[in-house]
Structure 1
Amino acid sequence: MQLDPKYRQASLYVGDLHADVTEDLLFRHFNAVGPVLSIRICRDALSRRSLGYAYVNFLQPADAQRALDTLNFQRLLGRTTRLMWAQRDARLRRSGVGNVFIKNLDRSIDSRALHARFSAFGAILSSKVMLDERGGSRGYAFVHFQEQRAAELAIESMHGALLGARTLFVGRFQSRGERARLQLQNRAEQPFTNVYVKNLGPAVDDARLWQLFAGYGRPLSAKVMSDDQGRSRGFGFVSFDSPEAARRAVEGLHGRSLDGQALFVGRAQSKAERQAELQQRFEQQRLERDEQPRPAPVARLYVRNLDDSVDDERLRGAFAAFGSLSRVKVMRQDGRSKGFGLVCFDAPEDAARALAAMNGRMLGSKALSIAPAQGP
């Protein structure tokens, strides 16, 4: 099934690689399908150990498509590799659009079998069965469809269906932030009897706290927290005999002024709940930052020591895996390469990655020399 043109590049992501797989092995593996421009195994910056994934750049998108069709889920050094179109838009990956979560998966179902079963509903960008440290299935998986409608069809058709020996749960993927937000919402809607209050003045003791809250129901306890010297820490807890009384207290006292300070009164949370709320707020702030309009900075790299055979297209292919490119140009005089060129990225961080990975890398018969380009 053919993909939308926005996904049809000449660059593939190769995942689930064995730590001993080398660029040379990947080159021989993929070059049998079509001419490969460059290969980059992503490595730890300090140890230089493989992170388990790589990018392969082909000269032609058709060759990349052929590799995706024929080499996906093949084994290299005993491990099944997983291919997908390289997708640099982090917002697309995090949005959850077209992404399906599957659990209660039979342990015999691998990524290849999962891909084969769910491809009936539409073009798949990625399918992955999550594995444990021994390489066995953890019993859950993710399938990312190109279109949201395909994901909806998969959920409608496969939720509750039998695959292998188990009945599947198939639902919409939820990000960590979304799951945390729903958990907090569910907790907030549950009955509670313990109330947390802060912004208490130094004159507020246990007795006064009890008296303040007794107007909303019968407190079982009221405690102002203190330090080692017995001084108030400015917050406390009140436990009621009924959820109704606790909720009335929150509604009636939150924001009320006491000794010149506005009280915060809310449902008391466990440590785990507080951590989940902080995580949810962090995720929400990150998503809001991602959605804000940003200028489109251009980061330029000056590439020297180019082989005479390297033209604009081949230079573009060598750098395309690192991010979106706005301009690629091999400088020429009288039709012949001058041995240097310019590569412009849309994002400075992509240019930084390209500089670190490609400086000194062979392209044709020469090792590239790369530096940040100065000037406008």
Structure 2
Amino acid sequence: MAQIQVQRQQAAATGAAAPPPPQSMPTQNGMAGGVATGPIPLGSTSLYVGDLDLNVSEAQLADLFGQVGQLVSIRVCRDQTTRRSLGYAYINFTNGQEAARALELLNFTPLNNSPIRIMYSHRDPSLRKSGAGNIYIKNLDKAIDHKALHDTFSAFGNILSCKVATDASGQSKGYGFVQFDTEEAAKNAIDKLNGMLINDKQVYVGPFLRKQERDSSTSNTRFNNVFVKNLSESTADEDLKNVFGEYGSITSAVVMRDGDGKSRCFGFVNFENADDAAKAVEALNGKKFDDKEWFVAKAQKKSEREQELKGRFEQSMKEAVDKYQGLNLYIKNLDDTISDEMLKEMFSEFGTVTSCKGLLVPVSI
């Protein structure tokens, strides 16, 4: 686990550093530190296990979690067509104490060289989908992993989910997400940690914005430079000046071309006034010229485009996981003669069944 040091950014006048955030205190169930610091949710015998290596099997999970308590069921969620693992699973214990102990002892344990991420399975999707208590952290030191981030933020409240974004090789991308069970805990963490130095890097900690909110925030940002694409090959600089000039004074308009002078079918227009640029985007985006529908938007820097793409990818992955939480049923004590097709037929009268699988996995250790 990465070791981290937290201090407030030094003020120029005093050079003094603020103390680190308060240490978490044990709760009624005796958990502290890198584990949930609030009360255990009702019906918390079920755990969600994420960030699984795609080759992890139910038997491996049974071996690991069976050391902690009596298991009722284990399910690795799989694509219904290819049967490939989706990278997460659900595990049910006979009682909440054993589930809590598994969360305390096994969270971030490497399995197939990939640290697993454990949280309580919340059957009500409203909390997950609302984004309440969700915060975004960027400019993280690359040495900070899931557990180090969890340990840092667990001092401020009960954490539902904690993740450092990583690339295909498992290296940190320098940003992550933490979701608390209350807005108050999230606000407290933001107030205390935003601008702090963590491993000598000043981090940004703020509310997590969903795609719609990010798009709205971006649209409200003032800008002068406008990007336009899907131009016809015959569109020239002068054409852009004439079209965009109707909305305000323009300092430059250029169609981008390759080395041979052939149009690359996109260009940039710079306005003197940001309000005029916004009016042009609003009026011209989606309009057709020479049978081509123009895309017109704020011209983004490379770093802005990369950050937007990262955010979209992380959100799509999170939504994919959320989509299937709470939709799975476990049935036990089935006769050996019951087939997958028979199960599907029995349950189809209650709704569309997307997948149905009988598992022969020993869960008694």
TM-score (norm 2): 0.58
Could you list the runs of 5+ residues in structure 1 that have no partner in the other structure? Answer: 196-205, 222-238, 255-266, 284-298, 308-339, 366-376
Give yes or no for the alignment of 1:163 onto 2:198. yes
1:59-138 alignment, distance < 5 Å: 59-138=94-173
Which residue identity lines up with residue 142 of structure 2 in the other structure? R
Q: What's the CA shift for 1:89?
A: 3.7
| Structure 1 residues 20 and 165: CA distance shift in structure 2, 3 A | same
Give yes or no for the alignment of 1:44 onto 2:76. no
Equivalent-residue separation in structure 2 for 1:112 and 1:6 (angstroms): 21
Structure having the higher strand fraction is 1
Q: Moved runs in structure 1, 4+ residues, more than 4 A?
A: 1-8, 191-195, 216-221, 239-242, 244-250, 301-305, 362-365
Equivalent-residue separation in structure 2 for 1:194 and 1:130 (angstroms): 30
Which residue identity lines up with residue 223 of structure 2 in the other structure? Q
**Which residue of the partner structure matches residue 27 of structure 1?**
62
Instruction: Output the aligned Cα RMSD.
Output: 4.9
| Structure 1 residues 153 and 18: CA distance shift in structure 2, 3 A | same
For the Cα contact (< 8 Å) 1:217–1:240, is it kept in 2? Answer: no
Q: What's the CA shift for 1:364?
A: 8.9
Which residue identity lines up with residue 18 of structure 1 in the other structure? D
| Structure 1 residues 19 and 240: CA distance shift in structure 2, 3 A | closer
**Which residue of the partner structure matches residue 143 of structure 1?**
178
| Structure 1 residues 161 and 23: CA distance shift in structure 2, 3 A | same
Equivalent-residue separation in structure 1 for 2:183 and 2:251 (angstroms): 52
1:1-376 alignment, distance < 5 Å: 1=27, 3=38, 6=41, 8-186=43-221, 189-191=222-224, 243=273, 246=276, 269=297, 306=334, 348=351, 352-353=353-354, 356-358=355-357, 360-362=358-360
2:220 aligned counterpart, secondary structure? helix
| Structure 1 residues 361 and 304: CA distance shift in structure 2, 3 A | same
For the Cα contact (< 8 Å) 2:76–2:85, is it kept in 1? Answer: yes
Equivalent-residue separation in structure 2 for 1:302 and 1:30 (angstroms): 18
Equivalent-residue separation in structure 2 for 1:86 and 1:218 (angstroms): 56
Percent identity, please. Answer: 38
Equivalent-residue separation in structure 2 for 1:78 and 1:60 (angstroms): 29
| Structure 1 residues 268 and 7: CA distance shift in structure 2, 3 A | same
For the Cα contact (< 8 Å) 2:225–2:299, is it kept in 1? Answer: no
Could you list the runs of 5+ residues in structure 2 that have no partner in the other structure? Answer: 1-26, 28-36, 229-237, 253-268, 284-294, 313-326, 336-342
Structure (1 or 2) with the larger CA radius of gyration? 1
Equivalent-residue separation in structure 2 for 1:135 and 1:240 (angstroms): 41
| Structure 1 residues 29 and 183: CA distance shift in structure 2, 3 A | same
Superimposed CA distance per residue, residues 158-193 of structure 1 (whole angstroms, 9 cap, x where no aligned partner)? 11112123111111111122111211222xx43579
For the Cα contact (< 8 Å) 1:7–1:85, is it kept in 2? Answer: no
For the Cα contact (< 8 Å) 1:8–1:85, is it kept in 2? Answer: no
For the Cα contact (< 8 Å) 1:193–1:243, is it kept in 2? Answer: no
- Using CA pairs below 8 Å that are at least 6 residues apart, which structure has the higher relative contact order? 2
Equivalent-residue separation in structure 2 for 1:306 and 1:79 (angstroms): 34
Equivalent-residue separation in structure 2 for 1:179 and 1:245 (angstroms): 20
| Structure 1 residues 363 and 182: CA distance shift in structure 2, 3 A | same
